[in-house]
Structure 1
Amino acid sequence: MGAICAGPRFLAKAGVLNDVKYTTSIINWTETHVQNFKEEDPFPRQNFIVDRVVRDKNVITAQGYAFIDFAVEILDYFDGFEDEEDKNNFIKITKGI
């Protein structure tokens, strides 16, 4: 299961994030969020990690700007790489490093 940017909000509402580490682009739930979404903060903040991408058990979450990292973690989860070197080469190619 995966979500990027503000998408982890839906995983939080479903209770999926209660027992896993995660990240989201919604760093703080502000009064604007309360007004727009008509709800209090749905995130279990004790599990929140500020990082580009977080993979815990079968849940992959990412900040919105980390879309390449998110894709790499999904590919890795589904054994899309032959080995760590293959994964690192893919990252270098996609990021132009």
Structure 2
Amino acid sequence: MKKKVYIFLFDGFSDWEIAYLTPEINKSEKFEIIYFSKDGNPVVSMGGLRVMPHIPFAEVNVDDVDLLVLPGGVAWEKGENNELNHFTKNVFEKGKLIAAICAATSYLAQLGILDKIKHTSNDLNYLKAIVPNYAGESYYVNSLAVTDENIITAKGIAPIEFAREIFEKMELYKKGDIEKWFQLFKNGIWSE
């Protein structure tokens, strides 16, 4: 049975932040991507891409989630996606993998998920400004992408590093092949 990767889409989501990871996961026979939105209706990305999700949020079963991907977008900073709060906490408490990039990291901080886990974001001061109750400062790592336990976080400028962290945690490819992929997309270098 394929492992299920749920990707939350919403109006204004940062489409480029998931653009490197989704094709690779989609090619795999081991995983299935399920795109979902609040109501299952089409959403428009920050880049103007109109996307039709597979299902509405109401149809997502937390027990089916192997990976939850939260792309960035200003909606997180405005508190527009709070209907996912209980669900996201439940995914975390069940030890399932959550990957958040850019402003979605502020959402995990708001939920307290980053309080005792190594993480990154766009900037430490960004998190402190967006999330007044943020309590994870001592766990903040100034890195492009960080994985700790079952949480992957990345700066908005690091979609390739974000994808690499996900691939490694999911064991999408062998470690050496993941590094080859990374070098190709990050530096334009391919080695046999």
- Write out per-residue CA displacement over residues 68-91 of structure 1, whole angstroms, 9 at most, x where no aligned residue: 010111111111012x21111111
Higher Cα Rg, which structure? 2
More strand by share: 2
Q: Secondary structure at the match of 1:54?
A: strand
More helix by share: 1
Judge conservation of contact 1:9–1:43 (CA < 8 Å) in 2: no
TM-score, normalised to structure 1, is 0.81
**Structure-2 change in CA distance of 1:23 and 1:79 (3 Å):** same
Pairing partner for 1:70 from 146, 162, 168: 162
Query: What is residue 90 of structure 1 aligned with on the other side?
Result: 181
- Tell me, yes or no, if structure 1 residue 20 matches structure 2 residue 113: no
Aligned residues: 91
Measured in 2, the distance between the counterparts of 1:60 and 1:8 equals 9
Give % identity: 31
- Tell me, yes or no, if structure 1 residue 50 matches structure 2 residue 147: no
Judge conservation of contact 2:119–2:148 (CA < 8 Å) in 1: yes
Higher relative contact order (CA 8 A, sep 6+): 1
- Write out per-residue CA displacement over residues 34-74 of structure 1, whole angstroms, 9 at most, x where no aligned residue: xxx6x625252111110011100000001111110101111
Runs (4 or more) in structure 1 with deviation over 6 Å come to none
Measured in 1, the distance between the counterparts of 2:168 and 2:185 equals 15
Show structure 2 runs of 5+ residues with no match.
Answer: 1-97
Judge conservation of contact 2:164–2:182 (CA < 8 Å) in 1: yes
Q: Secondary structure at the match of 1:18?
A: coil
Q: Secondary structure at the match of 2:115?
A: helix
Q: Secondary structure at the match of 2:185?
A: helix
